[in-house]
Structure 1
């Protein structure tokens, strides 16, 4: 019997159609684009929708890893209110972690593998930023290993 995967809406109809219904739980997605195109906005919107049982069957904890300092709780609340969701409840379901060094970012993901109750969604807003600030081959190799570990 095939297991039914839950999907989470991105909140963008066209993108959800391209993704065949939204983001599949257990999959890894990388939204890439120039600064200012809305990647953080999309991450905040997905966080809001993923944390709300009203919007999805999931309605679980979201781990938001923010190495760039772009997370804005007030914007998350606005998105929740625009969707008639309890903004405080949504915010209470989003756990923010702000690593400022490569080792810190890797450590939080390593700890996830040991947790008994894992978040429904993990968002890393700027997954490569800390790695790209260092210009040596060993760090770039570490980036490749880090990205690979996210898939397993």
Structure 2
């Protein structure tokens, strides 16, 4: 992943070139566009045979090697417990830098899970993600993890100017930065260089980024938060009811959970809203809108948070009020909190300054 800081991840050999199979099979597959696990698994054996000229036995061998390379073998609960990559709990959270939000989430954004924030355009989803991208860099005793962020954009350009504005406020006003004897903690570059940005246009690139390129980045840089802004944008409208979309969602959900669990980080997926055919009590809705991607995606996330915006009735206050509501979570009760977004970031309603 060519991640920029606001850092980068470089290119690597194609997936098929790393398979332990005959070079002639690899070249035939590459020549006909079968360079990734996704392109091979999503094609029927007959299509691969016809396009690549491979025999039925060679095609079966190719698919078998791809499956073995991408799907982990089953293991017992004891083997999972003994896994050195899994750090025993309790696990820290990433503070939102806003007491009201931390309260309803019992500390902040949890690690080792996939959290979705959905809401209409302009509700403040990206603003919340930027704040968390800054907060995660704080030490554990200050509400962070002391690590950086991998920020994946799928819709528009990364809001670098807004990030710089928020990071500059944190650098100047946060108690940790003010009291730290380390001058680098007070440097604006320190806060922005720990956020690694990549722009993704399609589902295959997103999966490759999560499964291959992010682990490569983490060999050199510590990452405590992965943001996808937004998860729905990589799916085409015409694929809304197709079987391939369901398969893509399942693969994405599995990859995100594997990344969160094995690397002990938090995954935040921002989601859009779509028109609803009635009120969805279980999965949340705003009047005539529900989260995009449907029930298939809802079953793949750990926690769903709904974000909305409204203007107060008082004419003296022109700042819109935001509301974050817990729609479902394995450990959180249904709750909500109001807050505002200023130039400095997220603020409690009772203490905007």
TM-score with structure 2 length normalisation? 0.40
Assess if the C-alpha contact under 8 Å between 2:207 and 2:255 holds in 1.
Answer: no
Distance 2:133 2:198 in 1: 14
Structure 1 residue runs of 5 or longer lacking an equivalent are: none
Per-residue deviation, 1:74: 1.2
CA distance in structure 2 between the aligned counterparts of 1:12 and 1:145, rounded to whole angstroms = 34
Superposition deviation, residue 73 in structure 1 = 1.2
Cα distance per residue 1:59-114 (max 9 Å; x no partner): 21210011112421111111112222633211100000111121111101001356
In structure 2, what is the Cα distance between the partners aligned to 1:57 and 1:11? 10
Equivalent-residue separation in structure 2 for 1:145 and 1:75 (angstroms): 32
- SS class of match (1:71): coil
Q: Does 1:7 align with 2:93?
A: yes
**Which deviates more from structure 2 when the two are superposed, residues 113-122 or residues 6-15?**
113-122
Aligned to 2:190: 89
Mapped pair 1:129 → 2:233: yes
Question: Matches of 1:50 and 1:134 in 2, distance apart?
Answer: 37
RMSD: 2.2
Q: Which of the pair is proportionally richer in strand?
A: 2
| Equivalent residues of 1:65, 1:123 under 8 A apart | yes
Larger Rg: 2
Which residue in the other structure is 1:62 paired with? 149
Q: Matched residues in 2 for 1:134 and 1:16: separation?
A: 39
SS at match of 2:227: strand
1:75 aligns with 2:162: yes
The corresponding residue for 2:248 is: 142
Give the Cα separation in 1 of the matches to 2:236 and 2:146. Answer: 33
Check the 8 A contact 2:129/2:227 in 1, yes or no.
yes
Indicate if the aligned counterparts of 1:52 and 1:59 stay in contact, CA closer than 8 A: yes
Aligned 1:42-61 pairs, distance under 5 A:
42-53=128-139, 55-61=142-148
Match of 2:146, SS?
A: coil
